[in-house]
Chains A and B, each alone.
Chain A
Amino acid sequence: MALADIVLEGLTLILVIALGAVLIGGLSYLATTTVSANNARLIEAGTYVYLPGPTYINNTLYIPMYNIGKYTVYVKYLFVKGVNGVQEYTTNMILKPGQYYVYELSIDYTPEAVTIVVSPINDPRLALEFSSNVTTPKPIALTPISTSLSAQGCPVLASVNDPYNAGWRVTWTMAGGTYSISESSSYQWCILPPYYPITVNFQSTITQNPTGYQCSINPQTTQVNYEGKPETQSFTVTCTSAAYIVIEDYYYGSFNEYGWYLCGDPVKYTINYWGNATGTLSGQVPCIGVNGQYNITYAIPTNGTIYWNLASVKIPSGTTCIISPTSGSVNPGQVSTITFSCLYWPYNSGGNNNGGNNGNYYVYVTVTGDSYGVGWSIASSVDTITGTGNVNMERLYIGGLTDTLTASITSNPSGYTCTISPSSVYASWGSDYTFTVTCRGQGQPPPPPSNNYFVYVTVKNDTLSASWQVSSSVKSISGSGNVNNEQLPIGGQTDTLTALITSNPSGYQCSIRPSSTQATDGSSYTFTVNCVQSGQSQPPPPKYYCIVTPSASDNVNGASGAYVSPSTTQYIPPGQSVIFTWAIRNNPVPPDYYFNNWVVTLNGQTVKTDQTSSTYYDFQCPSNLSSNQTYTLSGTAYYWERYLKVGGGNTFNVPGNGTYPITSQYTTAYFYWSDPLFISGSWNIDYQAGGATFTISVQLNDAYSQTAAATPLSASTTLAIAGPTGYLCSINSISPTSGSITSAKASNWLPTSAQVSVTCVPQGKIR
């Protein structure tokens, strides 16, 4: 090979290497810059900070920032555009992917838009802007529940056509959720199913009928299958004029000896109506709380008059009722009212139902004008009343809802011929009927008039069945053995009673005391029999007595109707006793006072307290009296106002991290209550760990709530944790969260045993 060839080859090789180096170098540079640019493009594509609704309220601009990109970013600046231009703020914060942060900015101008400048941490050279308009809150309706929502684009458009303005409610269920809407006019709304296909089930009902109308809504149940295409569901309210039958429920129970309010079974009834509309109404009248009132309303669609009657009533044992009226008529838009005045009083055996009839139907009979002691008789088809003299509102059972009463004279006073009118009358159940006796004399003076004054006689201690007689000026009663509250007519408002022994048991000599006493109409008198074996001397009548003056009062200005029996001053011989009984007539009394207890005092000294609605005291007269002893025996019924309330504020103020008891040191909230016939109480606290509020609830149980005579007392208050300025505080835990209450009254109560553990962090801290 020639030298020239070698040189040529070498030069060629060098040239190729040089060209190759240039090419590779160029390509390498190109690769470096291109990859760098591509990476920047990738980072830019994966960087996004979402501003979900910057809001300006109360001079504070809240800028939520949500990093939904792939990269951690550095939020460098915030620009706020207002009416006066753009303001720049340095934020200096880092948001990791998925991190949410609310940036708060106090400004005194109305912002229009915000822009943040962010740089990805792994490529600080990049600067990206994200913007959003600022919402200034003003009333705007949220869709989809809105009458202004157009049908176009609504997945399921529901509507109710209600030209009568009846109250209605439509409930729909979908995807396990239940939603409802109530209005009283035509309405349209949009329902957004969360996915499709899906079935939306509807139910509709009328909640309020316009006056004089009975309405219905159709369809009452239906469903819509939403498969991505818009659907509609319409409901229509139709109303017809109506007449009303209202049953007023005045059916009350009674307090037993323990103070419990007891109710009887409901009274069942059936009402037939005819005329422009025909039908039957059946139902029950329940026993309700003391002095409560409850109405049962029937709306009968009709365009004309309807007639009705009470076809049947079933009154349970132990209950007595007066029901009026038992028939009537009613026009559209009008109301017929039937009043059920009933009382459950089971303590008299047999209740109101006597034998010989079904006990369901009766009338009340009054006889007047019989000042001569005329014998008379008034009979229905199933019952008869006979008597002499006047009577007032005597119950006479009848054979059905209606019956015929016949009246007749059974005996005329000597020298007189008497009549009773009317001799026959058509009677309706529950009504009152008056019969009048008139006599024509035959020249003789009329017999002495009788009257309607009575006292009640009790004879006790007649264990040997001595025969005795107690007499007033007009009548005597006699017997042997003890009797209790035997009725004895007296000759006027006051009279003198005399008592004597008419026969002694063999081998015994008996006496009855007092042998004479002044009597007042309506009062009770007790006579005591004492017997000694013959041969023993009868003890001399006592020289001295215990003179006891009873009284009854209350702390509600007499509204309780408190009374005592016997009510008059008693002269009690030494060694003997008399039982005084107190009771109340009204409970509760307005506005909201309930009986709590009796206090019995003897000469001002408390001798008994009792939480039953009636109480008694057995007064024992000392056996060794040297002079008359005067006693004042007073019973006072104490009523309490019944309430449970919450007062004070609704914050729990803490100085920072720590555990704090729920006391007045940290909150101004407090509970206060007064609970008559209190039985028990409880409190509990609801909270969520991490939350900023907790709710204290108190519930009290008493005899009234347990017997459904009143609703249970309960109250609650929610306290918000308030930390130091600039800090947000949340609850770690609260312990204990429940406890019991033992006090019937409280004025400034808190669950002081509960401890609240609190953590506070600076506001605006990254979450």
Chain B
Amino acid sequence: MSGGPKAGFTLGGLVVLGLVVITVALITYLVSNYLYVTYEAGKYSLELSNKLSSLSRSCIAYIANNSLYFPYSTYVEYSIPNTVKPGLYSTLNLTGFRGEVLIFTEGCTILVKSTGNATGFEVIGYGTG
């Protein structure tokens, strides 16, 4: 029978198909990007939270036997005067400290002061950040 629908792709069909593919791709990209960013942002938040927790814990310290003890270790970045070499410390020997020494760690700032004799020290300021 002639005059019925012809089999195969018509031009309109191809156009529609193309439009559908582009649309689906765009939507997929939008959704995947959103999911990726959400995941990465969540990961960043978790890492920062852990880092802040670690920094806070590294500020736990006590002074005994003329030394500053950091049970969770701490990284000293800088000191004024420059008497403490940068590095990771679990025990900071205060021998040789004179007067006030500001110790800047990654998690906090500690001010140590000699109490007037060669062996006595106290911590008079302690910034937790």
How near does chain B come to A182, taking the closest CB pair, in angstroms? 9
Chain B residue at minimal CB-CB distance from A193: B71
Q: State which of A24, A48, A718 has its C-beta within 8 Å of the C-beta of B26.
A: A24
Determine whether the beta carbon of B129 is less than 8 Å from that of A50: yes
Q: Residue A38 at the B interface, CB < 8 A?
A: yes
Contact at A688–B85, with CB atoms within 8 Å? yes
B109 at interface, CB cutoff 8 A: yes
Q: Which of A64-72, A453-461, A533-541 has 4 or more CB atoms under 8 Å from chain B?
A: A64-72
Kindly provide the distance from the CB of A674 to the nearest chain B CB, expressed in whole angstroms: 24
Q: Which of A20, A38, A66, A144 contacts B16, CB < 8 Å? A: A20
Q: Which residue from B48, B73, B124, B127 sits with its C-beta under 8 Å from A48?
A: B48
Interface residues of A in 92-119 (CB under 8 A from B): 100, 102
A24 contacts B23, C-beta separation under 8 Å: yes
Q: A34-B34, A45-B41 are in contact. Are A68 and B48 (CB under 8 A)?
A: yes
Chain A nearest Cβ from B53, distance in angstroms: 12
Given the known interface contacts A46-B44, A691-B85, the answer about A57 and B61 at a Cβ–Cβ threshold of 8 Å is no
Contact B60 A52 (CB under 8 A): no
Least distance between B98 CB and chain A CB atoms (Å): 7
Q: How far is the CA of A48 from the CA of B49 in the complex (A)?
A: 11
- Flag whether A41 is at the interface (Cβ < 8 A): yes
Q: CB of B92 within 8 A of chain A?
A: no
Q: How far is the CB of B71 from chain A (nearest CB, A)?
A: 4
A54/B109 contact (C-beta < 8 A), A181-B64, A193-B71, A650-B98 known = yes
Total interface residues on B, CB under 8 Å, equals: 65
CB nearest neighbor in B for A38: B37
Contact for B81 among A135, A142, A193, A720, CB less than 8 A: A720
A32-67: which have CB < 8 Å to B? 34-35, 38-39, 41-42, 44-46, 48, 50-55, 57, 62, 64, 66
- Known contacts A27-B23, A728-B82; is-contact A145 B64 (Cβ 8 Å): yes
Please report which residues of chain B, range 4-20, place their CB below 8 angstroms from some CB of chain A when the two chains form the complex: 11-12, 15-16, 18-19
- Whether the pair B34, A137 counts as a contact (CB closer than 8 A) is no
- The 0/1 profile, CB within 8 Å of A marked 1, for residues 70-97 of chain B is 0111000110111101100011000010
Let me know if A53 and B83 touch, CB within 8 A: no
Distance, CA A421 to CA B91, complexed state (A): 76
Min CB gap A720→B, angstroms: 6
> At the interface, yes or no: A16 with Cβ under 8 Å from chain B?
yes
Q: Which residues of A contact B69 (CB under 8 A)?
A: 177, 179
Dominant secondary structure at the A interface: mixed
Tell whether A691 pairs with B33 under 8 Å between CB atoms, given A142-B62, A177-B91. no
Query: Is A135 in contact with B15, judged by CB distance below 8 angstroms?
Result: no
Docked Cα-Cα span, A100 to B106, in Å, equals: 8
Residues of A within 8 A of B110 (CB): 53
| A385 CB–B CB distance under 8 Å | no
Given the known interface contacts A142-B126, A193-B71, A690-B85, the answer about A52 and B109 at a Cβ–Cβ threshold of 8 Å is yes
Residues of chain A contacted by B12 (CB below 8 angstroms): 9, 12-13, 16
Q: How far is the CA of A30 from the CA of B90 in the complex (A)?
A: 53
Q: Which residue of A lies closest to B106 (CB)?
A: A66
Name B82's closest neighbour in chain A (CB-CB).
A692
B65 with A180: CB separation less than 8 A: yes
Check if A142 sits within 8 Å of B63, measured CB to CB: yes
Q: List 15 A-B contacts (CB under 8 A).
A: A20-B23, A24-B26, A34-B34, A35-B29, A45-B40, A48-B48, A52-B109, A53-B110, A62-B80, A100-B77, A132-B129, A135-B109, A139-B124, A145-B63, A180-B64
Q: Name 6 extra pairs, CB < 8 A, besides A177-B90, A194-B71.
A: A45-B41, A53-B126, A68-B52, A192-B62, A194-B72, A691-B82
